[in-house]
Structure 1
Amino acid sequence: MQFKQIVGQHDVKQRLLNSVKENRVSHAQLFLGPEGSGSLALAVAYAQYVSCENRLADDSCGECASCRKYQKLAHPDLHFSYPFFAKHKDDTALTFIEQWRAALLANPYLSLDIWRGYLEAENKQANINIAECHQVIKKLSLKPFESAYKILIMWLPEFLDKEGNALLKIIEEPQPNTLFLLVAQNQDQILNTILSRTQLVKIPPPGYEEVKSFLISAHHQTEHAAGEIAYLSNGNLTEALNMLQQDDNGYHQQFVQWLRLCVTNKGQEVIGFTDGLAKLGRENQKNFLRYGISFIREICLIVSGAGNLVKLPPAELETAEKMAKLITARMAEAIGDELEKAHYHVERNANPKILFLDVSLQLIKILYFKTFPTGAQYIPT
């Protein structure tokens, strides 16, 4: 993995490059970024750069013996630790290393759900067990085999329970030329004893234009399709890549049509439309609702006078501005709440036909009859 293969993150890349050039490589670092930000890919690219035999000014060479091994994730001085679904108490990350390499090489923007698909997870809970902690200590107690550094990348240290305290000594006093790179999404779930011993590297989600350009250049999407996916994914490249696998991403026209049917209370047509939504498939239903939530949020911004913050493409912006004249802030908040609840239930495998019909009826109540759910706190009209 090279830095040039990672979308955006120019400032973070420059900071990592400078730490090597200025010989300020901290032995324990925490790459903290939300899902889809590329934090894991950055950690691997950083490790490859540190180990490269012919470093360039802005990246590893990609051609030396070390880089070639890194590109296969098979360098003898590169080690990984990650959550897994143990079948036996003695299972460690090494038990699943072939699946791990296949998953990470296929998608550097790996998520726990994608990783679960490579394993026989059943209903087991993922964790990093005490056997894995002992294995990490054993790996890092040895000297580097080929490179100047021995490097361990731990993905999602949030899954370390109190057993993680076994790693404190090796993190605080590692062997010379040993790097410990943790890649996390939620700082609050990491053991404080580990957190206090690492140098923080914050990784923001990539911007809308960066995601859009990536989808056009690397995945040959049209400008409209790339723009819609970039907007819908909200900087999460894991979600953006997942959306590419779906059958259709034309959610804007579908969602606007749904609102129009509800605002005019066309009962029979609403039923026919919800039957179509029920056939989309679970992932497309989630993306459709996610788009709706985002679109309604943009309408809220327009209604509240913050239209300069709206990020919609021109054609969709025009539609949003027209709808903002018909929908009050109170309506928009109520609609957003119904869509959030629907997304929650789709994730939990609710019957889609019943679910979308129920949501449609709620939208008709809000948009046509202008009545609102009781017990909820909505801002005044």
Structure 2
Amino acid sequence: MSFDEVIGQKEAEERLLQLVREERLPHALMLCGPQGCGKLPLAVAFACYLLDNGTPSAKAMLAKLEHPDLHFTYPTIKLPSMGAEHKPVSDDFAKDWHELVMRGLYFTMEEWMTAMGAENQQAIITAGESDDLVRKLSLKSSQGGYKVSVIWLPERMNIECANKLLKLIEEPPQQTVFIMVCEEPDKLLETIRSRVQRIDVKKISNEAIEQALIEKRGISADDAHRIARLANGSWIKALDELQVGSENELFLDMYVMLMRLAYQRKIKDLRKWSEQLAGMGREKQKRWLTYFLRMTRENFMYNFQNEELVYMTQREEDFAKNFARFVNEKNILPITDMANLAIRDIGQNANGKIVFFDLALQMIVLLLQK
């Protein structure tokens, strides 16, 4: 994995390389940014850069991401086959992880959950993982250089794991570099945040996405331009737009159904709607709520009749032509607050049927506000 495989992000790349050139590389870095901006590819490319000693064997191991001094930590779930006392660790799912990352480093939590075979559970990083890291990093580097620990989504650590990791960061083993890849840094312990050097990774520029779509996917310049605008800085969203029958199509159908049933005040049908959405995995539910927020915002902006402010597919815009007038100055903020509350509740394992039925009933009232 090299920096050439990272979409855009030349500014963040240069900042990382400058730390090495100036011999100011900290023992703990945290790359923060929105989903799809390329934090994980950037982290892995930098890890490979640090571990590449120029020998053919090192290059071969890094190409397969099988270098003995490269350690991955990621959220896991507890399988029924695991013993009652067993705390799941990354090594339990190493084969699944390796297969996923070798297909490409731009992926979502939903894809990782699917790879583990458990879409309806909450994935976390357990205390067992921190114990495992202590053991691995206490060993000498097999190649005589750095040992690199890439931690994907450290905000999903439970409190016991976070406290143990804090101690490890405070007293790091020699020549060890931690690279955290974080989407919600506010959920991390303040004591951990204060002990890492944070680098904010911005959304990918439209130009970089356009160029990558043309070069890597062989699509026309016009299509690349349209998809780049819709992707809004996310390579994952850009890839989604290329997929026929992508998840966004389902999400749009669910959004349209909600608004039509709420407008018609069909309570029984709204209950069925909420049950259908509750049947999805929690990660997917949260993604739909994020989509709900985006679509509501786009419909509000559609009212201003300025195409530069609107980022919708043709299907989304076709619906907005008649629906946008129902999203206005009086209800945009209450709708936004309601959706953010639902995201929080789903994240805290609230009953999905109750959360989504309540949201549906509130939409009946909010759509009447003009």
TM-score, normalising length: structure 1: 0.69
> Residue 140 of structure 1 contacts residue 170 of structure 1 at CA under 8 Å; is this kept in 2?
no
CA contact (8 A) 1:2 1:48 kept: yes
Distance across 2 between alignment mates of 1:92 and 1:288: 29
The 1:293/1:188 distance shift into structure 2, 3 A limit, reads closer
Partner of 1:220: 218
* 2:111 corresponds to 1:140: no
The alpha-carbon deviation at position 91 of structure 1 amounts to 3.2
Give the AA of the match of 1:66. A
Is 1:119 aligned with 2:116? yes
Partner Cα distance (1:216, 1:249) in 2? 23
Match of 2:59 in 1: 67
Question: Of 150, 153, 161, which aligns to 1:153?
Answer: 150
Q: How does 1:42-191 map to 2 (within 5 A)?
A: 42-54=42-54, 64-86=56-78, 87-88=82-83, 89-121=86-118, 123-158=120-155, 159-191=157-189
Indicate how the Cα distance of structure 1 residues 9 and 228 shifts in structure 2: closer, same or farther if over 3 A, else same.
same
Secondary structure at the aligned position of 2:116 is classed as coil
CA–CA separation in structure 2 for the residues paired with 1:249 and 1:223: 24
Match of 1:368 in 2: none
Separation in 2, partners of 1:229, 1:181: 31
Unaligned runs of 5+ in 1: 55-62, 263-281, 364-371
Q: Which amino acid letter does the alignment assign opposite residue 133 of structure 1?
A: S
Deviation (angstroms), 1:127? 1.2
Deviation per residue, 1:102-131 (Å, 9 max, x gap):
111112112211101111225332111121
Deviations 1:284-314 (A, max 9, x none): xx99999998687567557559x4953669x
**CA separation of 1:289 and 1:33: change in aligned 2, threshold 3 A:** closer
Of stretches 229-238 and 13-22 in structure 1, the one that deviates more from structure 2 is 229-238
Change over 3 Å in CA distance of 1:290–1:231 after alignment to 2: farther
Q: CA RMSD in A?
A: 4.8
Does the 8 Å contact 1:205/1:236 carry over to 2? yes
- What amino acid is the match of 2:19? S
Per the alignment, do residues 134 and 288 of structure 1 end up closer, same or farther by CA in structure 2, a change over 3 Å counting?
A: closer
Question: What is the match of residue 277 of structure 1?
Answer: none
Provide the C-alpha distance between the structure 2 equivalents of 1:135 and 1:200, rounded to a whole number of angstroms: 25
Distance 1:195 1:328 in 2: 38
SS in structure 2 at match of 1:30: strand
Q: How far, CA to CA, are the matches of 2:327 and 2:208 in structure 1?
A: 33
Given that 1:165 and 1:193 are in contact with CA atoms closer than 8 Å, whether structure 2 keeps it comes out as no
Give the whole-Å Cα distance in 1 for the aligned partners of 2:243 and 2:159. 35
The amino acid that maps onto 1:241 is L
* TM-score (structure 2 length as normaliser): 0.71
How far is the alpha carbon of 1:96 from its aligned partner?
1.1
Q: State the distance in 2 between where 1:287 and 1:163 align.
A: 26
Which of the pair has the greater relative contact order for Cα pairs under 8 Å at 6+ separation? 2
Residues 1:111 and 1:295: Cα distance change in structure 2 (over 3 Å): closer
Say which SS state the counterpart of residue 117 (structure 2) adopts: coil
Quick one: which amino acid aligns to residue 148 of structure 1?
A: G
Encode CA deviations 1:70-120: one digit per residue, 9 max, x unaligned: 121100110111111123414321121111111111121122111011112
What is the CA-CA distance between 1:196 and the residue it aligns to?
A: 1.7
Counterpart secondary structure, 1:79: strand
Aligned position for 1:273: none
SS at match of 1:118: helix
Query: How far apart, in 2, do the equivalents of 1:68 and 1:94 lie?
Result: 22
Give the letter for the 2:92 counterpart.
Answer: T
Q: Displacement of 1:327 after TM fit?
A: 9.2
Give secondary structure in 1 for the equivalent of 2:143. coil
Q: Is there any run of 5+ residues in structure 2 with no aligned partner, and where?
A: 261-279, 281-285, 344-350
User: 2:170, 2:195 within 8 Å by CA — same for their partners in 1?
Assistant: yes
Change (3 A) 1:329 1:244: same
Give, in angstroms, the shift of residue 189 of structure 1.
1.0
Asked if 2 retains the 8 angstrom alpha-carbon contact of 1:232 and 1:290, the reply is no
Q: Distance in 2 between matches of 1:333 and 1:27?
A: 44
Alpha carbons 1:228, 1:249 under 8 Å: kept: no
Deviation by residue 1:146-169 (Cα, 9 ceiling, x = unmatched): 141011111111133333211222
For the residues of structure 2 that align with 1:108 and 1:53, how far apart are their CA atoms? 23
Shift in CA distance, 291/78, structure 1 to aligned 2, threshold 3 Å: closer
CA distance in 2, matches of 1:230, 1:205: 11
Is the 1:28–1:198 contact (alpha carbons within 8 Å) kept by the matching residues of 2? Answer: yes
Q: Mark the CA change 1:17 to 1:301 in structure 2 (over 3 Å): closer, same or farther.
A: same
Matched residue, 1:198? 196
SS at match of 2:11: helix
Q: 1:290 to 1:85 in 2, by over 3 A?
A: closer
Alpha-carbon distance in 2 for matches of 1:308, 1:245: 24
- Do the aligned partners of 2:37 and 2:204 also contact (CA within 8 Å) in 1? yes
Tell me the CA shift for residue 226 of structure 1. Answer: 2.6
